[in-house]
Chain A
Amino acid sequence: MDEAIVRFQQVDFAYENGVPVLEGINFAIWPRELVAMVGPNGGGKTTLLKLMTGMLHPSSGSVSLFGKNPASVRSRIGYMPQYLHFDPDFPITVEEVVLMGRLGRRGIRGFFGWPEKRDRMRAMDCLAHVEMEKLASRPFSALSGGQRQRVMIARALACDPELLLLDEPTANVDSQTESRFMALLQELSREITILMVSHDMGFVSAIVKSVLCVNRRVVVHPTTELTGMVIQDIYNCSMQMVRHDHRCTEKGHTHVIPDHDSP
């Protein structure tokens, strides 16, 4: 039996002001799963990602990544933040951005962090995956929002990750790129585990195997119908429904994604 890539057990989290952001979170993500995370702004999606990567620590409960403390194994993650996270005027070329993915465990090993030829080749390969290799020498600041997004995906791929975390990967890309990106994710999910945050229910429903619905609690897509009442309860507003046919187990107050430990 494979070990869970990510496991949350009875996790609560509150920032310094004491207001609870996440409560009673239980779920697991298994190898080579393609999972989407949806939820309203302020619902705790980014906090959940930061707990997963060990950038934050739970107030109670436990989080494990590859069966270990997240902080000790986070270099096995490829992370793509939202593109708004960056200074658009920063003087850096597209290739330099992608080469950052080679820093750390799997890429550039030297203490000083100078890339070798194989790192540059891997960076170009990742840029080719998102059809950006011709713009490698362009300044990052000269790209459109959608192009920057693709460069960020290439940087995450350059990490040679075992778990790919994508925060709104298709927020600024056109529909053609989105379709190609979906195909790429499906291809990658044969080898690696992928979790992506998205507001686009239509986009995620077409390709993912499980949907994590986050709004202080986590509800994972049940095998039976996810009723309108449940969705409304999570989002506090009317939402578009997503239908999938996946197994689901119920634990405590939350529904969870298929758990290999469960019957």
Chain B
Amino acid sequence: MITAARKRGTPMSSLITILLDPDIVFLRYALAAGFLSSISFGVVGAYVVARRISTIAGAIAHCVLGGIGFSLFMQEKSPSPLWDPVAGALGSAVLAALIIGVVNIKAKHKEDTVINALWAVGMAVGLLFMAKTRGYIDPMSFLFGNILMIGPSDIRLMAGLGGIILLLVLLFYHKLVAVCFDEEFLELRGVPAHFYYFLLLLLTALSIVLLIRVVGIVLVIAMLTLPAAMAGQMARSLAGMMGLAVLFSMVFTTGGIALSFGMDLPSGPTIVIFAAASYLFLLVLLGIRKRWQAQDQAS
């Protein structure tokens, strides 16, 4: 039936046909996950792009594999709900964020080295634990995600974590903007700037854990940066950038799912390529507009 729907029309029309089928629920979950994750992609992505911490986000994302690998290994050795891979992912992401935050404050000149070391060591640890865990574990599903495998419990988790992220951003919006724009000034105002920097890193860590199910560890950075970078070309304020980035993310996840479904491609990479192509298109458009404006002024 799915194949028949694919053959009948455009990616979007075949997606709609499947969506209306009461027997096929996984696409509805995928779309719901795409919409929920777009909130984090857009809101936290705006901070990541504005504060220029995408490399830090990359290191946190790759450390997550270490936590997942450790959880899977422990789950096999002594089964317990404590060793849920999501808990492992969350723990390792928060730990990586704390390490990077401390290094940023105490030894800034070593930050770059530590970030890159965490990036590689996190992945290595994850792969080693997976290799020593009995049974077949495919790291590819963690590295590149699979939005079509998402179930109701994932949706609940995404809604919960997304709600926490939104609430924190809403409450501390101005201080987080200040720590991104001028951390030193915030410190001089007697506001604990380091605390808000840590909060920003923790929000990034939370978002990454949330988003890995959608696009995977390797591609999460693209979705945290591309929609926000596009929004940054148009927005006047960080709040505007967040709103636009959420909107772009929703378009990319929905469009990416439709394309991947219609063309029988893996969903995570399709979403990212769609976002990257749109970003490139926007840059070209802005370049042409700039050229026209320069020509107008010259004439």
Contact = CB atoms under 8 A, between A and B. Distances in A.
Interface of A: 53, 55, 74-75, 77, 79, 81, 85-87, 89-93, 96-97, 99-101, 103-105, 108, 112-115, 137-139, 155, 159
Nearest to A74: B188
B237 A96 contact: yes
A74 B240 CA distance: 32
**What are the nearest 10 A-B pairs in CB distance?**
A104-B189, A75-B190, A113-B174, A113-B175, A139-B236, A104-B190, A91-B241, A103-B189, A91-B235, A112-B171
Contact of B172 (A53, A99, A112): A112
A17 to B, nearest CB: 11
Contacts of A93: 236-237
Contacts of B181: 86-87, 90, 92, 97, 100
B206 to A, nearest CB: 19
A257 B184 CA distance: 29
Interface of B: 46, 50, 52, 171-175, 177-178, 180-182, 184-191, 232, 235-238, 240-241
B185 A91 contact: no
Contacts of A100: 174, 177-178, 181-182, 185-186, 189
8 contacts: A74-B190, A79-B185, A91-B232, A92-B238, A96-B237, A99-B174, A100-B178, A101-B189
Contacts of A108: 174
Contacts of B178: 100, 103, 113
A91 B236 contact: yes
A155 B184 CA distance: 14
Contacts of A90: 50, 180-181
Most chain A CB atoms below 10 A, which of B180, B184, B189, B236: B189
Contacts of B50: 87, 90-91
Contacts of A103: 174-175, 178, 186, 189, 191
Nearest to A139: B236
A55 B193 CA distance: 12
A106 to B, nearest CB: 9
A55 B184 contact: yes
A98 B19 CA distance: 49
Nearest to A79: B188
Given A137-B236, A159-B189, 17 more contacts: A55-B187, A79-B185, A81-B184, A86-B181, A87-B52, A90-B50, A90-B180, A92-B237, A93-B236, A93-B237, A96-B174, A96-B237, A97-B181, A103-B175, A104-B191, A112-B175, A113-B174
Nearest to B244: A91
Contacts of A112: 171-172, 174-175
A89 B229 CA distance: 11
Nearest to B236: A139
Contact of B177 (A79, A89, A96, A105): A96
Nearest to A165: B188
Nearest to A114: B174
A92 B52 CA distance: 15
A212 to B, nearest CB: 20
Given A91-B50, A91-B238, A75 B189 contact: yes
A113 B187 contact: no
Given A91-B238, A96-B237, A81 B185 contact: yes
Contacts of A81: 182, 184-185
B174 A115 contact: yes
B188 A75 contact: yes
A93 B241 CA distance: 12
B188 A53 contact: yes
Contacts of A53: 188
Most chain B CB atoms below 10 A, which of A91, A92, A138: A91
